[in-house]
């Protein structure tokens, strides 16, 4: 068995590699690690609408309560909502059951520590050790956790943990954070039949926008099915059909957001980051005049930020690493090309609905179209080749590969960029080359890919 935790929790085929038994063990271990020092700990548990979430929520609840932790089930909500409510309710941990943008048969378990923060590697390792050892603390009698509901675990109303209004509370948090009247803007929202199908349109409407929601009827089986942030064709067509000002597309758990302008052109995460960074720079809200992104962000973002006098810091791929850098440096904006955008002032993880609100707020504040705002970023041609290899470590250690990369970097100078990155889940090495000259980018990528494949 490989490492249990991937880049974003535990993920796999529901009722296959991600079984109810494993979900119970992971949640019991997480409760034991994260609830220490609490005499009566509480965990917030939410899920996306996929059918297997019902089964896995039951297993997670059993695991948490078996470890003596009370469970506050908040139902179907986006991942950032569970993180927010974990902090808002002062819970010792939060659990989101979702496989994000993955197909319906998959599912996953994302765990948040107190304050709604993602786990660091050391805590994940401690949880994994307990799961592998199969030894958990098992209280009995009154020590067993309870499932909290609106009426309270003991039949009395519990004001602190009342479920009444949890969805509304999250929507209010989003609208207050954006703080801009969006009256006059028309937006098409592709909810991916996912966790934002209710709260996404509700938040945009509450902020004043005219909302046309599509793919907002989850039935447990249709999540991410040809729609959402991984399939933008539907939102592109709908924007043109309705003459909307823009379109927004979320993934299954709504922690990411991609956009299309009024002409149907895609505005990806890099462009969204550029728009928001420039806006925050103007208002003085871009802390230390710095934006945080990952190594996969396009060279065009680096160029646009350099021209604006904004420092761009890069991290490994994964919004958890972006968040770590944001917290370490006290920065106020970061994200990924895939549409994860993090505002540390308002949340501890990527929040797709908040991103959509902030993007529209920028449009409303400036009176400019999304296409005009996005024109600040000129995307540099990027070539990505996934190379199957027998040994990723051997590629990293190969002297001839390092020499070839160095020679190519000298050839490109400041007109391009090269990145060789081993896949975190497959025996692949990803060869990425960016260059202002597309033909040169293809040539260099092909040459490096052949060399990597020969190792």
- Give CA–CA dist 374/383, Å, rounded: 22
User: Is 27 assigned to a binding site?
Assistant: no
Q: Do 348 and 301 meet the contact criterion of CB atoms below 8 Å apart? A: no
Fold of the domain built from segment(s) 10-164: Alpha-D-Glucose-1,6-Bisphosphate; Chain A, domain 3 (3.40.120)
- Give CA–CA dist 145/137, Å, rounded: 12
Q: What is the pLDDT of residues 221-236, one digit of tens each?
A: 999 999 999 999 999 9
| Kind of pairing between the strands at 42-47 and 93-97 | parallel
| Residue 137 burial class via C-beta count within 10 angstroms: exposed 0-12, middle 13-18, buried 19 and up | middle
User: What percentage of residues in the chain have a pLDDT greater than 90?
Assistant: 84
Domain boundaries, the chain: 10-164, 168-374, 382-454
- Give CA–CA dist 201/207, Å, rounded: 10
Residue 159's pLDDT is: 45
Q: What is the pLDDT of residues 36-63, one digit of tens each?
A: 767 789 999 999 999 999 999 999 999 9
Residue 56's pLDDT is: 98
Give the catalytic positions in this structure: 100
Asked if 168-374 and 382-454 have one fold, the answer is no
Average of per-residue pLDDT across 125-141: 92
By mean pLDDT, which of 119-123, 287-291, 343-347, 359-363 is the weakest?
Answer: 119-123
| Confidence check: pLDDT of 157 > 50 | no
Residue 2's pLDDT is: 65
User: Is 261 assigned to a binding site?
Assistant: no
User: Is 251 assigned to a binding site?
Assistant: yes
Distances (CA, A) of 320 to 133, 293, 348: 27, 11, 9
Alpha helix stretches (DSSP H) within 67-220: 79-88, 121-133, 166-178, 199-206
| Residue 156 burial class via C-beta count within 10 angstroms: exposed 0-12, middle 13-18, buried 19 and up | exposed
Q: What is the pLDDT of residues 203-260, one digit of tens each?
A: 999 999 999 999 999 999 999 999 999 999 999 999 999 999 999 999 999 999 999 9
Q: Give the rounded distance of the alpha carbon of 124 from its chain centre.
A: 18
Q: What is the pLDDT of residues 20-38, one digit of tens each?
A: 999 999 999 999 999 976 7
The CATH code belonging to domain 382-454 is 3.30.310.50
The CATH code belonging to domain 168-374 is 3.40.120.10
Q: Give the rounded distance of the alpha carbon of 284 from its chain centre.
A: 26
| Residue 453 burial class via C-beta count within 10 angstroms: exposed 0-12, middle 13-18, buried 19 and up | middle
- Give CA–CA dist 306/326, Å, rounded: 19
Q: Which of 363, 366, 373, 372 is nearest to 208 (CA)?
A: 363
- Give CA–CA dist 54/63, Å, rounded: 14
Work out the mean pLDDT of the chain and round it to a whole number: 93
| Confidence check: pLDDT of 426 > 50 | yes
Give the CA count within 13 Å in the CB-facing half-sphere of 201. 17
Query: pLDDT-based confidence at 156, cuts 50/70/90?
Result: very low
| Kind of pairing between the strands at 246-250 and 257-261 | antiparallel
- CA-based angle 22:25:29, to the nearest 5? 140
Q: Do 116 and 87 meet the contact criterion of CB atoms below 8 Å apart? A: yes
User: Is 255 assigned to a binding site?
Assistant: yes
- pTM of the predicted protein model: 0.90
């Amino acid at each position: 068995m490989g490492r249990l935790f991937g880049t974003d929790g535990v993920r796999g085929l529901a009722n296959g590699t991600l079984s109810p038994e494993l979900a119970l063990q992971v949640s019991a271990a997480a409760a034991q690690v994260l609830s220490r020092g609490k005499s009566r700990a509480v965990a917030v548990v939410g899920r996306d609408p996929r059918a297997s979430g019902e089964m896995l929520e039951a297993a997670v609840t059993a695991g948490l309560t078996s470890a003596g932790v009370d469970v506050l089930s908040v139902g179907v909500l986006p991942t950032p909502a569970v993180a927010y409510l974990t902090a808002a309710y002062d819970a010792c941990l939060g659990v989101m059951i979702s496989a994000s943008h993955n197909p319906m048969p998959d599912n996953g378990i994302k765990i948040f520590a107190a304050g709604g923060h993602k786990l660091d590697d050391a805590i994940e390792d401690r949880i994994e050790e307990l799961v592998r050892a199969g030894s958990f603390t098992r209280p009995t009698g009154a020590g067993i956790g309870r499932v909290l509901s609106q009426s309270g675990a003991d039949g009395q109303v519990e004001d602190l943990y009342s479920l009444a209004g949890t969805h509304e509370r999250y929507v209010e948090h989003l609208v207050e954070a954006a703080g801009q009247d969006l009256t006059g803007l028309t937006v098409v929202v592709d909810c991916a039949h996912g966790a934002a199908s209710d709260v996404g349109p509700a938040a945009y409407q509450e902020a004043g926008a005219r909302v046309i929601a599509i793919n907002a009827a989850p039935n447990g089986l249709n999540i991410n099915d040809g729609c959402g942030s991984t399939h933008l064709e539907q939102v592109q067509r709908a924007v043109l059909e309705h003459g909307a000002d823009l379109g927004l597309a979320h993934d299954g758990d709504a922690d990411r957001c991609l956009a299309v302008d009024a002409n149907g052109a895609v505005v990806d995460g890099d462009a969204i980051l550029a728009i928001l960074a420039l806006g925050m720079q103007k208002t003085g809200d871009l802390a230390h005049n710095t934006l945080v992104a990952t190594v996969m962000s396009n060279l065009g973002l680096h160029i646009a930020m350099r021209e604006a006098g904004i420092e761009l810091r890069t991290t490994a791929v994964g919004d958890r690493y972006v968040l770590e850098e944001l917290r370490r440096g006290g920065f106020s904006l970061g994200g990924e090309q895939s549409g994860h955008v993090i505002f540390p002032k308002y949340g501890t993880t990527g929040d797709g609905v908040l991103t959509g609100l902030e993007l529209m707020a920028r449009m409303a504040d400036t009176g400019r179209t999304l296409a005009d705002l996005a024109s600040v970023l000129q995307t540099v041609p990027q070539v990505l080749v996934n190379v199957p290899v027998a040994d990723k470590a051997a590629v990293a250690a190969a002297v001839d590969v390092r020499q070839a990369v160095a020679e190519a970097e000298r050839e490109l100078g400041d007109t391009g960029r090269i990145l060789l990155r081993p896949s975190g889940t497959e025996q692949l090495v990803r060869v990425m080359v960016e260059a202002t000259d597309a033909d040169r980018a293809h040539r260099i990528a092909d040459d490096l890919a052949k060399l990597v494949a020969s190792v």
